[in-house]
Amino acid sequence: MALKTELVLADAWKPHEPTAAEPFDRRAAAHLLRRAGFAANFAELDAAVKAGPQESVKALLAPPAAAAGFDQEMERMLQSVLAGNNPLSLASWWLYRMRHTPAPLLEKTTLFWHGHFATSATKVNEARLMLRQNELLRSNALGSFPKMVQGISRDPAMLLYLDSATNRKTHPNENFAREVMELFCLGVGKYSEKDIQELARCFTGWEIQHGEFKFNQYQHDYGTKSLFGSSGKWDGDEGIVQILKQPAAAEFLCTKLVRFFVADELELTDELLAPLCQQMRESDYTIGPVISTILSSKLFFSPQVRGVKVRSPVEVGIGLLRSLDATANMNALVEHLRAMGQLPLYPPNVKGWNGGREWINASTILARANRVRQLVDTNEVQFGGGPLEAYLRRFDLSDSRAIVAGLCELLLPVDPPVEVQQQLIAALDAPGAPREQRLRHGVHTLAAQPEFQLS
């Protein structure tokens, strides 16, 4: 059943201001940083609380001072990844980037666009081409959507994945044109078969040769095309411009962004979406300002949308590591995420991952619990560079009751039942196993709770 917003529609996208009843505390900051990134540690939560919600959102959108150095480190790591030409190694590299990035919103939004422009290395099977697409998405993730979709229409990995490596004027590729309209820009039913045929003509002459995009002028249809009631001698870029003039384009994109950042099943009426759609059009489809409005809004911070989104496997794995400043073997994490149903660079089909409730069933719940245990119970995993017990003491968490309260605040959008907390406190205080082992088991116990599956 779809959630209904309790806010007056005119107030939904206004900036959130904390009140005594709804303070911007650690739990609220964790909500923001979990949705806008991959969760955060205690120090990051405290810094966000001190800054307040609006300044925290601005910081998420601004390039951090550490970004240049981090990007250089990622470039150095890529040399060995590309030498082996193994897309699984590239997936490990990207997971490492998600875990350590100083720009979590940028990386989270890059993951969003990867699901939107879904391309799988299962078919492409060239790390270099998958990396190029990944970089294209990241460079435009918070910027120009027209530039991004025009780039993806030239992207070798995408064109190979959609069997559009050649597009000749005598046989225009209507399948590719359909995906551009249905999956990338407008949604189902917002175009006619004639529009598909005409857009396919716009892309004729676009080819992939030796892994590079080439425009073959001899195979391009230079005739007049008609799209949505307008006519012109358009190429592919100009055809995309015509698509984005349609009202359905802003509605389609804003719906996906709200579903991704706010709630999977929120009732999205035309009236609720209208301000975002207007902002999208007025900014010439610049993504960052719209995301800023969403993350800063009264609706985003309202109690009704907390703990209602099902966390994806990537959010579970990377979020746990970032929350506890934990290290992990990224090659092992690749296998964990594959078992949980979401391995980056390997979406199941051209529609990407369905997400939402489909992440959760009896099999995946068990897989999540087992994989979390494997993540935290190995000696290879350190927390802030050392044992979990020492890490928690840095934040004055040594008493079992305080530890459970702190971990619930850090890891869960809402508290688990009181009896679960009491049992966990008793388990931490029980004699027998070493304290470190009991603490790690406590993290696993919390991560196995239904509340941990939500954000």
| Residue 21 belongs to some domain of the structure | no
What is the reported pLDDT for 5?
66
For residue 392, what pLDDT band results from cuts at 50, 70 and 90? very high
Q: Residue 85 has what DSSP assignment?
A: T
pLDDT, one tens digit per residue, over 197-220 is 999 999 999 999 999 999 999 999
- 3-state secondary structure (DSSP) of residue 82: helix
Q: How many domains does the chain have?
A: 1
Cα–Cα distance for residue pair 344/95, rounded to 1 Å: 8
Q: Which residue has the higher pLDDT, 297 or 373?
A: 297
What secondary structure does DSSP assign to 96-116, as a single string? Answer: HHHHH-S-HHHHHHHHHHHHH
Mean pLDDT of the chain: 94
Inter-residue contact 36 to 338 (CB < 8 Å): no
Vertex 367 angle, CA 361 and 372, to 5°: 125
What is the reported pLDDT for 1?
47
| Residue 6 belongs to some domain of the structure | no
| Residue 383 belongs to some domain of the structure | yes
pLDDT, one tens digit per residue, over 108-118 is 999 999 999 99
| Residue 363 belongs to some domain of the structure | yes
Cα–Cα distance for residue pair 374/370, rounded to 1 Å: 6
pLDDT, one tens digit per residue, over 5-42 is 666 677 999 999 999 999 999 999 999 999 999 999 99
| Residue 422 belongs to some domain of the structure | yes
| Residue 12 belongs to some domain of the structure | no
Sign of CA dihedral 426, 427, 431, 437: negative
Amino acid at 167: N
Q: How many H-runs (helices) and E-runs (strands) does the chain carry?
A: 24, 4
β-strand 225-227 against 212-215: which pairing, if any? unpaired
End-to-end CA distance of the chain: give it in Å, rounded.
18
* φ, ψ at 358 (rounded to 5°): -70, -10
| Residue 302 belongs to some domain of the structure | no
What is the reported pLDDT for 7?
65
pLDDT, one tens digit per residue, over 296-347 is 999 999 999 999 999 999 999 999 999 999 999 999 999 999 989 999 999 9
Does the pLDDT value for residue 268 go beyond 60? yes
What domain range is 330 assigned to? 313-453
Does the pLDDT value for residue 371 go beyond 90? no
Q: How many residues does the chain have?
A: 455
Q: Residue 213 has what DSSP assignment?
A: E
Inter-residue contact 53 to 69 (CB < 8 Å): no
What is the reported pLDDT for 2?
65
Q: What are the CA-CA distances from residue 34 to residues 16, 127, 131, 309, 424 (Å)?
A: 17, 29, 26, 11, 24
Inter-residue contact 225 to 202 (CB < 8 Å): yes
| Residue 267 belongs to some domain of the structure | no
pLDDT, one tens digit per residue, over 45-77 is 999 999 999 999 999 999 888 888 999 999 999
